[in-house]
Amino acid sequence: MADARSNPSEIAREALKRLAERRVAPTPANYQACYFEIARLPNVLPFPEPALRQLAGALCPRGDAQAAQLTRLDAAIAGRSWQGVQEALLGYIAAGQASAGAATLPHEVALLLLRVFEPLFAAFGKEDRRFSQVADELLAVLRLAPCDLKRFEQVARRLVDMLPCVVEEEVEIRESLLKLLHMIIENIGELGIDDAWFKGQIDGLLAAVAPPLTLRHLDEMERRLRDVMDKQAQARARSLEAQQEMREMLAAFIERLGGINRSSEVFQARIENSARQIEAVRRIEDLAPLLADVVAATHAMADETAGSREQLRALQERVLATEAELVQLHRELDNASLLARHDPLTEALNRKGLDEALEREIGAVRRRNTPLSLSMLDIDNFKRLNDQLGHEAGDKALIHLVNLARRSMRPSDTLARYGGEEFVILMPDTTQAQGVEAMTRLQRELTKAFFLADGQKVLITFSAGVVELREGESGHDAVCRADKAMYLAKRAGKNRVVGA
């Protein structure tokens, strides 16, 4: 009987049998190993030409030396030479290490960094000459093609060492300027404290310079303040016109009264003269002309009196119309000034409006000896919502929360935007326990009313802290306590209400 090892079909059958006996998966590699074992042949793996071709194609040569080694690698793969592949790869690595001392930054990356750094450095100005010189040097390195990576790293390290001091100084300058501007605005407001219109503008400026500062917030405040100033100029101009009209109408009124007086004197003289003539009449036929003259004088006086009455009525109507117009202008101006106390996005009260509402509610608490609860709430994961859906969706989410809160609140409650995604709700005649219950109800309402962003349902939740005003406690201290309680709710897992 022939040796089974000399018959390929028998070897194949035996290999499959052994794989089954050994319970080994019949993969090509396992089958080959078993086949060569039975045939007593060396188990040499096939040359992986496709994989090596893929590897060679993924390599990006930098310089002629590496390109030459890639050519050697292609030749070795074509000749199915393991040794040639090894030598070519080692040569490629050595060529890369040799050129590492002259590494360059990719041109696209250098241009991108240039676009980032140019406006950034411009924002710091030229006040710090050393920082400005190093920044200009870094920009010059990036403008070179190719950009020397080592040189870039050296200059960048020098800049990074200087940056913290420069940024800290810029922040201090910005804060000092804001404080100075705040002081100037407050002092100007003191000068015009009796002018309600002017005070509204001052309140708007104070709200505009209060952090957090955003360009959109400043633009909105500028628009509203310009509206107030325009209405104020219009009202003042119309007031001057009205004053002139009043003077003219008063002069006409006095002149008319003088005319009436003169007409009365003439009429009286005619009547007295007619009376004397009547007393001297001896015949009845002489009486008729005198009576006719009296009747004519009376008719003339009545006509003139009616005309004067009509003119006076017209003057009165003009006065009333002018007064009504001025009242309307003042009302519009008052409404425009009130906007300075409201957040331009959500139309809730801003920090200035909250301070005034707190002062008013605390005064009522002291007079009536009733409880006042205060809640600080913060939207959960608001930054992630902004990052995923965009800032426009974030703004709409804030408006959604405010609208829902207004529907859930009592008319006596007050809602204010404290900053960013934080809000404060004042709840008069409410204990802390009742305030916690009210905030929990608002949370439930939010779970029912989904926020829609481009047709996508988004669940908005918030964490809240609720406190009850203590005896002798200031509004600021109560807000701080509510803020701490809100952070406890955040750390407890969010979407919670904590009383403190």
Is 154 in contact with 141 (CB distance < 8 Å)? no
Whole-angstrom CA distances from 408 to 178, 411, 430, 478, 482 are 37, 10, 15, 23, 20
How does pLDDT run across 119-151, given as a tens digit for each residue? 777 776 677 778 888 888 888 888 887 777 788
pLDDT at 304 over 60: yes
Residue 69 is encoded by which pair of tokens? 């080694």
How does pLDDT run across 372-397, given as a tens digit for each residue? 999 999 999 988 888 888 888 888 99
Question: Could you give the 3-state DSSP secondary structure of residue 25?
Answer: coil
Is 197 in contact with 337 (CB distance < 8 Å)? yes
Locate tokens 């030479």: which residue?
A: 81
Give the mean pLDDT of 268-284. Answer: 65
Residue 335 is encoded by which pair of tokens? 């409404």
pLDDT at 266 over 80: no
Separation between Cα atoms, residue 440 and residue 408, nearest integer Å: 11
Whole-angstrom CA distances from 398 to 100, 161, 189, 386 are 53, 40, 32, 11
Q: What is the pLDDT of residue 176?
A: 61
The CA radius of gyration of the chain, in Å to the nearest whole number, is 46
What is the number of other CB atoms lying within 10 angstroms of the CB of residue 495? 18
pLDDT band at 303 (very low <50, low <70, confident <90, very high): low
Most confident among 33-37, 359-363, 431-435 (mean pLDDT): 431-435
Strands 422-428 and 147-148 turn out to be unpaired
Residue 381 is encoded by which pair of tokens? 């994961």
What's at 335, amino acid-wise? N
Give the mean pLDDT of 238-248. Answer: 67
pLDDT at 298 over 80: no
Separation between Cα atoms, residue 223 and residue 229, nearest integer Å: 10
Residue 493's contacts (CB-CB under 8 Å, 6 or more residues apart) are none
Give the mean pLDDT of 45-59. Answer: 75
How does pLDDT run across 395-430, given as a tens digit for each residue? 899 999 999 999 988 888 999 998 889 999 999 999
How does pLDDT run across 1-17, given as a tens digit for each residue? 344 455 777 887 887 88
pLDDT at 286 over 70: no
Residue 401 is encoded by which pair of tokens? 């929360």
More confident site: 187 or 491: 491
Against a cut of 0.75, is the pTM above it?
A: no
Separation between Cα atoms, residue 130 and residue 136, nearest integer Å: 10
DSSP conformational letter for 494: S
Residue 429's contacts (CB-CB under 8 Å, 6 or more residues apart) are 370, 371, 372, 412
Whole-angstrom CA distances from 231 to 329, 333, 381, 478 are 7, 6, 41, 38
Residue 337 is encoded by which pair of tokens? 């000034």
DSSP string, 186-234: HHHHHHTTT-HHHHHHHHHHHHHTSSSP-HHHHHHHHHHHHHHHHHHHH
- Of 115, 119, 110, 179, nearest to 146 by C-alpha is 110
Residue 313 is encoded by which pair of tokens? 């009525």
Q: What percent of the chain has pLDDT over 70?
A: 63
β-bridge mates for residue 155, sequence order: none
Give the mean pLDDT of 448-459. Answer: 83
DSSP string, 148-163: EHHHHHHHHHHHHHHH
Most confident among 44-48, 162-166, 372-376, 456-460 (mean pLDDT): 372-376
Give the mean pLDDT of 58-72. Answer: 80
What's at 247, amino acid-wise? R
